[in-house]
Structure 1
């Protein structure tokens, strides 16, 4: 065999080896950790960042058959939705099963999708941006939410948002409540759920209704029903009769918030 033929045969052999390795890697693609049980792999999937409006985390279902099966059959993978497109949100909610659901919506989220979200008993965290039709959406907060812990509602200062009667009254595990850019707020309608002793965060950026004649005593009593409060942020939210704190002759019952670590009053 000539030197040139020998060199050609050697090159062909090396190329065959490279090709074989490529085929082997393709076959093992997505299974580089073959000993991981599906539940561990699923837990890793939950660590994928989910930015606002981003659905790129679904790409794990395109890696290999194993990853696809794990993701599609793991309800929690589909239960954290951060302002995703409406069609995607509907698809994900259908796959979320009985997993606790965390939903952040945008101003473009249609009302029918919002109603579907608020009809779920497994809703644990919800953040809404209200539009002009928000009053109808708020009425859905009068139902029972067995595991709801976080509610964030961002309004429009040009609109007047009124809390419906029994707003969040059946949310006995509420821990975090944020109301931003609300007009015509009245302390008398502060959700019953916020005063049942479980609240950790209360953040209000609201404009108190001029007719809200909440007395200092009642305001302090309201604060006293939140013994676990850790963060209190009140912006334009103090009652209009706050001057009575200095002029009232009757003594006030002191309120002790021993867990409070952040306080902001404006």
Structure 2
């Protein structure tokens, strides 16, 4: 049985064929009778190590689905097969770290079973009828590994009110709310995002959510997306809603040496001429790993940023409406990359 022991590596590289093969090997080595065992006897005789591997595979392919009433339990149905299977699943907290809305007390139950392990929630859509779930998620931000949520900002305010706190295990943060109207204040996070520093953060995607950029430091970041609604008066919005100036953004980018993907849409408050700090702090910023740039900015802003970034040859640059760029020098800046 030594070769059947479960390890983290085995869990990550698990394949259905491997499970079947190893299960067959186990029964070949066992002194099983030649008479075909019943399904109940077969299930009762499978060792916990193999059961766990089967459960891991099921959790990857039969994902629970949520809706507004009661969700599809997916792989969790195995906990209802028999007491032995249930006990094996409940004794493995790592099986319960991918959160999903199941209706009723489903979220609370899954959180309890996951214990203190890092949590993942993907493509979660916030709504008022999930208010209690939002409270639970907000209280677990320090425990999150992946936090990917969307929806109108009013139901999401419970999360926004806590995202200024440290989250030392967070690797991915995606916040997406619909564009706000011209006479409507967009959502904001009070204070610096994640206390201003998060060494574990690898992916940050923010759509129409404002936060304080002062002293921001995410040195391990690989991808950064900042998307806001186009406005004729970004400078006015910056005072109340924390759109960064170009110098502030460049200062933050200088502390992201591992960045590979950069997406900036209408997320800079400056209008030419730029602030004095930007002019005085003109040292180039080396970004050797940056391979994809996606900008929707004023041509002068775009050109000014490109003049400051040192990227490797072959980087892909996505800039819409280049034919509208003026003056010609801005276009030359783009094509010199």
TM-score using structure 2 length? 0.60
Q: CA RMSD in A?
A: 3.2
User: Aligned equivalents of 2:214 and 2:132: distance in 1?
Assistant: 24
Against the structure 1 CA distance between its residues 122 and 219, is the aligned structure 2 distance closer, same or farther, given a 3 Å change threshold? closer
Task: Name the counterpart of 1:222.
Answer: 252
Structure 1 portions without partners, runs of 5+? 1-20
Task: Name the counterpart of 1:85.
Answer: 103
Against the structure 1 CA distance between its residues 30 and 222, is the aligned structure 2 distance closer, same or farther, given a 3 Å change threshold? same
Query: Which residue among 157, 165, 174 is the counterpart of 2:201?
Result: 174
Larger radius of gyration: 1
Asked if the contact 1:42/1:70 (under 8 Å) is kept, the reply is no
User: Aligned equivalents of 2:245 and 2:292: distance in 1?
Assistant: 24
Task: Name the counterpart of 1:140.
Answer: 162
Task: Name the counterpart of 1:44.
Answer: 57
Report Cα offsets for 1:148-205 as digits up to 9, x if no partner. Answer: 11111111323511221133115442221111244xx46xx2375x623121111112
Report Cα offsets for 1:29-63 as digits up to 9, x if no partner. Answer: 43585484455445434433426525312122233
TM-aligned CA deviation for residue 26 of structure 1: 2.7
Asked if the contact 2:55/2:89 (under 8 Å) is kept, the reply is yes
Deviates more, 1:161-170 or 1:88-97: 161-170
Asked if the contact 1:122/1:145 (under 8 Å) is kept, the reply is yes
Query: Which residue among 176, 192, 195 is the counterpart of 1:154?
Result: 176
Task: Name the counterpart of 1:232.
Answer: 262
Task: Name the counterpart of 2:219.
Answer: 197
User: Aligned equivalents of 2:266 and 2:45: distance in 1?
Assistant: 56
Against the structure 1 CA distance between its residues 29 and 242, is the aligned structure 2 distance closer, same or farther, given a 3 Å change threshold? farther
**SS at 1:225's partner residue?**
coil
**SS at 1:177's partner residue?**
strand
More RCO (CA 8 Å, sep 6+): 1
User: Aligned equivalents of 1:67 and 1:191: distance in 2?
Assistant: 51
TM-aligned CA deviation for residue 250 of structure 1: 5.9
Query: Which residue among 129, 143, 148 is the counterpart of 1:127?
Result: 148
Asked if the contact 1:30/1:66 (under 8 Å) is kept, the reply is no
Query: Which residue among 78, 89, 94 is the counterpart of 1:76?
Result: 94
Task: Name the counterpart of 1:112.
Answer: 132
User: Aligned equivalents of 1:137 and 1:85: distance in 2?
Assistant: 20
User: Aligned equivalents of 1:30 and 1:52: distance in 2?
Assistant: 26
Against the structure 1 CA distance between its residues 157 and 86, is the aligned structure 2 distance closer, same or farther, given a 3 Å change threshold? farther
Asked if the contact 1:200/1:231 (under 8 Å) is kept, the reply is yes
**SS at 2:99's partner residue?**
strand
Structure 2 portions without partners, runs of 5+? 1-34, 67-71, 297-337
User: Aligned equivalents of 1:129 and 1:195: distance in 2?
Assistant: 24
**SS at 2:79's partner residue?**
helix
